[in-house]
Amino acid sequence: MSKFWSKLIRGLDPYVPGEQPKDRKYIKLNTNENPYPPSPAVLEAIREYTGKDLRLYPDPNGDILKTTVAGYFRVKKKNVFVGNGSDEVLAFAFITFFKQQKPILYPDITYSFYPVYSKFFEIKANPIPLTGDFRINLADYPVDNGGIIFPNPNAPTGRFLPVEQIESLLKQNTLSVVIVDEAYVDFGGKSCISLIENYPNLLVIQTLSKARSLAGMRIGYAIGSPELIDGLERAKNCFNSYTLDRLALVAATAAINDRVYFETTCRAIIATREWLIAELEKLDFEVVPSTANFIFIRHRNRKAEELFSALRQRGVLVRYFKLPRIDNHLRVTIGTDDEMQEFIRQLQAILSGN
């Protein structure tokens, strides 16, 4: 710990991303990356754009991407904000809407960046416990608060909340911003973007990292009322006007426009997920219902930490969280059919003692 660090930085527990080891080749099922490459249209757009214009700053407003997102979701351009991955969009949202006297609310088991941002921006937080079967109970949230945020589907559990339940919350919680983080919504869920017209305090955040295979480009966006979007723009332009580079803007535009490729790969991941769940249940695993590109599992007789270590030794990476209530669960990203078949083979060998 450096003597030059501020008191704030000394007191933080940073977000810990999934490991990216380089000592050998692994089957990576630990970071919820898409197993399929980006759309060929994305790669072609990048190739065509690479040239002398890279010496120039990108469009600070990201108009080409905003227009594309607005058209895709049938909203207006003034309803769209774009940023350097949904994590950056979330950071801007925290500082824009949640820096209040009252505490914000989020699930006690959820995306671990939420408590990190709360501490980083010195925002009071009141985590709301999930139910015993890892459900978000929105009936617990209409209390006095400085804002509400949750992923849908939730992470790391994968459980999904119907849009009707979110609308019920919005009808009761009208005095603070409600953020729905839809990073994984495309793998079987339904977006609540349709609600923004009637609920000016709703902000929906999505990413191109998961369903559109662009984790390496860092592209995210938010959709909400013009009032909320203006606040995000104000925060962004006090921090970094050029959040998305030129290649990211053209890549994202091409990815969103290729609806067929997007739908095809999402269907493939959903089919693999359902096959995997059936195979794991045969091996005596309990699987939390998921509409994400990952599943949350627990073996009835073997400890999760032991399985995590044994899989890693065999070249398969999954995610283990040594945290209360979930320290006997593993989060497993859905890979290709071949990767998941190998995952099952390795589990079978471990469980049989081979």
pLDDT for position 54: 86
280 strand-pairing partners: none
Which pLDDT value is given to residue 23? Answer: 67
Nearest to 247 by CA among 36, 54, 85: 54
Does the bond joining 115 to the residue before it have cis omega, within 30 degrees of 0?
Answer: no
Q: Residue 133 in 3-state DSSP?
A: coil
Residues 235-250 have pLDDT tens digits of 999 999 999 999 999 9
Record the tokens describing residue 261, joined without a space: 């490729």
CA 261/CA 316 separation, integer angstroms: 28
Q: Which residues of the chain have pLDDT under 70?
A: 1, 22-24, 354
- Does residue 333 contact residue 28 with C-beta atoms inside 8 Å? yes
Amino acid found at 58: P
Helix (H) or strand (E) holding 262: helix 259-282
pLDDT at 15: 75
Q: According to the model, what pLDDT value does residue 252 have?
A: 97
In whole angstroms, what is the distance from residue 18 CA to residue 94 CA? 23
Q: What local confidence, expressed as pLDDT, does residue 354 receive?
A: 67
CA 90 to CA 281: how far, in whole Å?
Answer: 35
> What span, in angstroms and rounded, lies between the C-alpha atoms of 87 and 151?
12
pLDDT at 251: 96
Amino acid at position 94, single letter? F
pLDDT at 26: 87
The 10s digit of each residue's pLDDT in 44-62 is: 999 988 877 888 999 999 9
pLDDT given for residue 353 in this prediction: 82
Domains of the chain: residue spans and CATH: 7-37+260-351 (3.90.1150.10), 40-258 (3.40.640.10)
Report pLDDT for 17.
Answer: 74
Q: Report phi then psi at 172, rounded to 5.
A: -90, -30
Single pTM value for the model? 0.95
